Amino acid sequence: MSGITVYKDKCIGCSLCVKACPFEAITVVDKKAVIDLDKCTLCSSCVEACRKTNAIEIIRETTRTPDIEKYKGVWVFVEQKKGVVQPVAFELLGKARELADKLGVGVAAVLLGHGVKDKAQELIQRGADTVYVTDDPKLEHFLDEPYARILANLIRKHRPEILLSPATSIGRSVVSRVAVQLRVGLTADCTALDVNLEERFLLQTRPAFGGNIMATILSRHHRPQLATVRHKVMKELAPDISRKGHIESLAFDRSFFTSRTKVLEVVDAVTATVNITEANVIVSGGRAMAGAANFKMLEDLAGVLNGAVGASRAAIDEGWMPYAHQVGQTGKTVCPKVYIACGISGQIQHLVGMQSSDIIIAINRDPSAPIFSVANYGIVGDIFEVVPLLTKKFKQVV
Amino acid sequence: MNVIVCIKQVPDTTEVRIDPVTKNLVREGVKSIINPFDAYAIEEGVRLKEKFGGKVTAITMGPPQAEGVLREAISLGCDDAILVSDRAFAGSDTLATGYTLSKAIAKIKDYDVIICGKQAIDGDTAQVGPGIAAMLDIPQITYVRKISDVKDGEITAERSTEEGYEVVQTKLPCLITVVKEINTPRLPSLKGKMKAKSAVIQAWKAVDIEAEADRIGLKGSPTEVWKIFTPPARAQGMILQGEAQGSVDQLVDSLKGLLY
Amino acid sequence: MIDYLLTEEQQMIRDLARQITDEKIRPVAAEHDKSEKFPWEIMKVMAQSDLFGVYIEQKYGGLGGGVFELCLATEEFSKGCAGIAICYSASALGAYPIILFGTEEQKQKYLPAIAKGEKLAAFGLTEPAAGSDASALQTTAVKQGDHYVLNGVKHFITNGGDAEIYTIIAMTDKTKGPRGASLFVVEKGTPGFSFGKKEDKLGIRASSTRELIFDNCKVPKENLLGKEGMGFIAAMKTFDMSRPGIGAQAVGIAQGALDEAVKYSKQRKQFDKSISTFQGIQWMLADMATEVEASRALVYASAREVDAGKKHVGVHSAMAKLFASDIAMKVTTDAVQIFGGYGYMKEYPVEKFMRDAKITQIYEGTNQIQRNIIGLGLIKESAR
């Protein structure tokens, strides 16, 4: 029977579980934990808290994919825009190759679009053994319905055990629909992936609660295991022109391409210096910037480092920068190689959006600003003095 | 125009802390709030109603205390509220949640647009909205930053992308997920608050929405949390104080090999 | 704060006004103080939240509360910015004559828009030569057929130029002195009605204060409120109602400054200690807190008395206005003192509280006039 059980013989009444429960569902009665099932959501926080004593267990009885052992291979859903394969696809292929080698299976890439056929070879050079290509004018723009329909159809036919997709606006939208059509599990925004070789399940690790904790998610009994993966986390393989692979062009019945949605216009309002999700270096400004005009100073620094300009919510709300630049909980989550925070105090809402950056540099007048607690390097000083000096110095060395 | 807004009660993650000793999440005393992205969904729903007439129904799946966010939704202009709550839903992942909400929405029947926030701040998956659309077999527009037009059974909206936005048109009924840029949510009104206080919140259980037993709760959830751990703490950084030029020189030297 | 046993509805008003203050007013207070820009965006938020109607009857689209409810909202707003708060409460001052003396038609015509916050109201009594001495009014209203013709100038009128609906006192019969004054509703846009310069003020700079100029301004005779000759009494009755509101504004200003002072005293370190650990500071804070609470109690009691429909509320409402405004001046000055040199700088919020507090001792009857009212009331009562 599915559900949660407290083993009274093991429970020592320490009430760690009481503290851990976000729903106030647990009380300790006569030195034993008692769970109110009306309040419990089976979130497993208490099971975690009780790891040492192991007195709480959640028993899950779940459906399973029939012929689960017949699912073989690691797939990547390739994101392309205007016929250009996006860098994240190569990162995913690199990871897929690693996982597939461990499992002793092949890597396949699924490339959907228009005028993309000639891109298949590069996917092989980047780690794919097979590329399934559907090149059709109807697929010129990303559309949820035909993309999901074709992807689900290919999966049903070829039965991969794993499908990786970028955790981008396209990837998250389409794979969520695929998961429902196949009735399988999907884990969002993974930052680490590994496989368990005995049971062949994918260990999907992702940040939760705004990056305060990490959770490793499994889908033991369902195939394929679907995961969307954060951009700029996985390592791509250098292209190997000697790699051989198989390209399979697939035609589908016209009914596969129908869509109730149509794209009327694509507007690339965001220039390279603004696309903070792609940038390797981000220079961000906060409330201490004190005005829109002062962001010129950050653009100068970003210019020298070939980076983009970001901003905290405070600066966005003041109207100093457009929303596309916002880093943080209600903005974008970024993980550049270098993040330079200028006059940002480091509210938790901001930190959750940038704390997985490789190197964080903070410049702030207040030495006790929380931003310094996540910074690899910090300068205590006035941004209006430090930033121009920094720009000048980098100009000399870069 | 009838709108359904899907909302979620979440812990205010900005108040969640890690216990330095047990390394567990300390959620004691953390208040529950409407998922911030859902506040934009409510506002957009109310604006559609103000423009085109009809009504806005707020719906949430959660424990009984999630009723609080539904009352808040009414104070912000929603007309009706439905709490989908049952022990049998406990342990639902995004697939089971999407299924459960889609069954409840199917029971409401009469709707033109379903609006969700782009994601919830506790899970950050962004999967439930598209999941509901797929279950109901209706089209979706995700990451909407502006609704440009609604007419002749079609909606035109701007969908945010990493590079900018796309102008997208689809047929009603449809589901959209919204980003912060779409509006500035209003504060509640006094009349709304009074209405919220006395409003009758409908409560639906698994049998009311005719949910299949093996598609809800733990049983209907393919994914499970295997391990939770705290991310490794960042090492104490090098903090430079004193004269600015000196600090700048030292910093730039330290970054050699990394940036140049 | 003492528990004043608010009803659930009153708590909602206070909580909502507090939320607006925290989220919308406080972040822009300094900017409006500097730019003197009229806070239309905040007025819109207050309107959308139904707060302009708290004191207006339900049949005119209000919430059916009274002066007390108005005070609760005004106090909260004043904690964030007294200038923005007065834009709100001055609309009530303009509306009171209509509530008190308007006919059913007049109420139906004007109150719903005021209750919804679609239109702001303003009250026009003061003239260049008639401040405390209201009997020296120069503005005239001469009846000609089915309308009155107004001539003259009002000045220092809060919401002047930004309000749509004005209640104006003018002399219909100069020979009768105060008994020759009458009250009119004049709408913005009426030919012959224009506005003079906007005043550059010490405090409450978010609010607008302008001259109203009447140059052969024809007002339909239906716009007379009450009867001819009732204007002066009507003005006094209006002030009896509105004085607790000024008291509430003063309480809000004082509380806002006190809150800042407490917060700062814990942060500020001198001699290696928070200055809040010094008894000298604690005693100052203790006096400030006690005085603010006493003001609040007096303001609330007087507002509740007005709402209960008691007669002769003038003395008590004068006491509330007098005491609360004097305390606001004292408490804000002390708050600046606790901040020390920082308190004198515009980078910190307390000097604004001090500048804003001053007007509460002056407008809607100077505190000297309040003392006259109280003194005269005492003498009258002993003669009864």
**pLDDT in the model for residue A274:** 65
Amino acid at the residue C216: N
Contact B191 C51 (CB under 8 A): no
- Which residues of chain A have a CB within 8 Å of the CB of B93? 185
- Phi (first) and psi of residue B208, to 5 degrees: -65, -30
State the CATH class of domain B3-226. alpha beta
The first and second tokens of residue A110, run together, are: 């699924």
Q: How does residue A319 score in pLDDT terms, banded at 50, 70 and 90?
A: confident
**pLDDT in the model for residue C307:** 96
Partner C, chain B 134-193, Cβ-Cβ below 8 Å: 186-191, 193
In this structure, the answer to whether residues C241 and C139 fall within a common structural domain is no
pLDDT above 70 coverage of chain A, percent:
98
In this structure, the answer to whether residues C244 and C374 fall within a common structural domain is yes
- State the total domains in chain A: 3
For residue C1, being part of any structural domain is answered with: no
For residue A106, being part of any structural domain is answered with: yes
Contact B87 A39 (CB under 8 A): no
Tens-place pLDDT, residues A339-362: 999 999 988 889 888 988 889 999
**pLDDT in the model for residue A209:** 75
Is the CA virtual torsion C368, C370, C376, C378 positive or negative? negative
- Which residues of chain A have a CB within 8 Å of the CB of B164? 266-270, 324
For residue A271, being part of any structural domain is answered with: no
Rounded CA-CA distance B244/B251 in Å is 10
In this structure, the answer to whether residues C101 and C237 fall within a common structural domain is no
In this structure, the answer to whether residues C212 and C147 fall within a common structural domain is yes
Tens-place pLDDT, residues A163-185: 999 999 999 999 999 999 999 99
In this structure, the answer to whether residues C236 and C352 fall within a common structural domain is yes
- Which residues of chain B have a CB within 8 Å of the CB of A372? 237, 239
In this structure, the answer to whether residues C222 and C236 fall within a common structural domain is no
Helix/strand/coil percent split, chain A, to 5: 30, 25, 40
Q: Which of B43, B190, B191 to mutate to test the interface with C (most CBs of C within 10 A)?
A: B190
In this structure, the answer to whether residues A305 and A195 fall within a common structural domain is no
Total beta-carbon pairs less than 8 A apart between chain B and chain C: 31
Partner B, chain A 31-90, Cβ-Cβ below 8 Å: 37-45, 48-49, 58, 60-63, 81
Rounded CA-CA distance A120/A248 in Å is 9
Q: Which domain holds residue C218?
A: 122-229
Rounded CA-CA distance C116/C49 in Å is 9
**pLDDT in the model for residue C37:** 95
In this structure, the answer to whether residues A243 and A113 fall within a common structural domain is yes
In this structure, the answer to whether residues C220 and C314 fall within a common structural domain is no
For residue C325, being part of any structural domain is answered with: yes
**pLDDT in the model for residue A317:** 85
pLDDT above 70 coverage of chain C, percent:
100
The first and second tokens of residue C68, run together, are: 């007390």
In this structure, the answer to whether residues A315 and A371 fall within a common structural domain is yes
**CATH code for the domain in which residue C376 is found:** 1.20.140.10
Q: Does A145 touch chain B (CB under 8 A)?
A: yes
For residue A265, being part of any structural domain is answered with: no
Q: What distance lies between CA A172 and its chain's CA centroid?
A: 9
For residue C337, being part of any structural domain is answered with: yes
Q: How many CA atoms lie within 13 A of C172 on its CB side?
A: 23
**CATH code for the domain in which residue A140 is found:** 3.40.50.620
Please determine, for residue A212, whether its predicted confidence score (pLDDT) is greater than 90.
Answer: no
- State the total domains in chain C: 3
CB neighbours of B193 closer than 8 A, spacing ≥ 6?
A: B75, C12, C16
Question: What string of pLDDT tens digits covers the 260 residues of chain B?
Answer: 999 999 999 988 777 666 666 556 666 677 889 999 999 999 999 999 999 999 999 999 998 889 999 999 999 999 999 999 999 998 899 999 999 999 999 999 999 999 999 999 888 899 999 999 999 999 999 999 999 999 999 999 999 998 889 999 999 999 999 999 999 999 999 999 999 999 999 999 999 999 999 999 989 999 998 888 877 777 788 999 989 999 999 999 988 877 77
Low-confidence ranges of chain C (pLDDT < 50): none
Rounded CA-CA distance C259/C246 in Å is 20
C9 is catalytic: no
Burial grade of B83 (CB within 10 A; 0-12, 13-18, 19 or more): buried
Rounded CA-CA distance C381/C384 in Å is 5
| Minimum CA–CA partner of B186 in chain C | C45
In this structure, the answer to whether residues A392 and A341 fall within a common structural domain is yes
Asked if B221 and A43 count as a contact pair (C-beta separation under 8 A), the reply is no
SS3 A385: helix
Average pLDDT, chain A: 91
Cα C213 to Cα A40, C129, C155, C174: the distances in Å are 69, 14, 9, 19
* DSSP notation for C254-282: HHHHHHHHHHHHHH-EETTEEGGGSHHHH
Of A2, A185, A214, the CB nearest to B93: A185
Burial grade of B235 (CB within 10 A; 0-12, 13-18, 19 or more): exposed
Across the strands, what pairs with C123? C167
The single-letter DSSP state of residue B163 is S
Q: Which domain holds residue A162?
A: 68-257
Residue C380: how many CB atoms within 10 A of its CB? 11
**pLDDT in the model for residue C251:** 98
The single-letter DSSP state of residue B14 is G
Closest CA relative to residue B100, chosen from B80, B83, B115, B77: B83
The first and second tokens of residue A218, run together, are: 């499994």
In this structure, the answer to whether residues A223 and A295 fall within a common structural domain is no
Q: What is the mean pLDDT of residues A179-207?
A: 94
- Which residues of chain B have a CB within 8 Å of the CB of C13? 190
Average pLDDT, chain C: 95
- Which residues of chain A have a CB within 8 Å of the CB of B239? 367, 372, 375, 377-380
**CATH code for the domain in which residue A331 is found:** 3.40.50.1220
Contact A389 B139 (CB under 8 A): no
Q: Does A385 touch chain B (CB under 8 A)?
A: yes
In this structure, the answer to whether residues A166 and A48 fall within a common structural domain is no
**pLDDT in the model for residue C135:** 76
**Element spanning C236, H or E:** helix C231-267
In this structure, the answer to whether residues A89 and A39 fall within a common structural domain is no
Closest CA relative to residue A263, chosen from B168, C300, C164: B168
| Minimum CA–CA partner of C44 in chain B | B186
Tens-place pLDDT, residues C26-80: 999 999 999 999 999 999 999 999 999 999 999 999 999 999 999 999 999 999 9
Domain stop point among C84, C119, C154: C119
How large is the ipTM?
0.90
Rounded CA-CA distance C183/C232 in Å is 8
Peptide bond into B173 cis (omega under 30): yes
Rounded CA-CA distance A107/A16 in Å is 44
Domain stop point among A59, A76, A94: A59
**pLDDT in the model for residue A62:** 79
For residue A183, being part of any structural domain is answered with: yes
For residue C2, being part of any structural domain is answered with: no
Domain stop point among A242, A257, A272: A257
In this structure, the answer to whether residues C33 and C139 fall within a common structural domain is no
In this structure, the answer to whether residues C130 and C183 fall within a common structural domain is yes
Closest CA relative to residue C346, chosen from C336, C360, C338, C357: C336
Domain stop point among C65, C86, C119: C119
**pLDDT in the model for residue C185:** 97
Chain C: partners with 3+ C-beta pairs within 8 Å? B
In this structure, the answer to whether residues A72 and A219 fall within a common structural domain is yes
Please determine, for residue A1, whether its predicted confidence score (pLDDT) is greater than 60.
Answer: no
Domain stop point among C229, C246, C261: C229
Report H helices in chain B.
Answer: 36-52, 67-75, 94-108, 128-136, 190-198, 244-254
Rounded CA-CA distance B214/B193 in Å is 39
Rounded CA-CA distance A184/B193 in Å is 41
In this structure, the answer to whether residues C194 and C316 fall within a common structural domain is no
**pLDDT in the model for residue C266:** 92
Chain B: partners with 3+ C-beta pairs within 8 Å? A, C
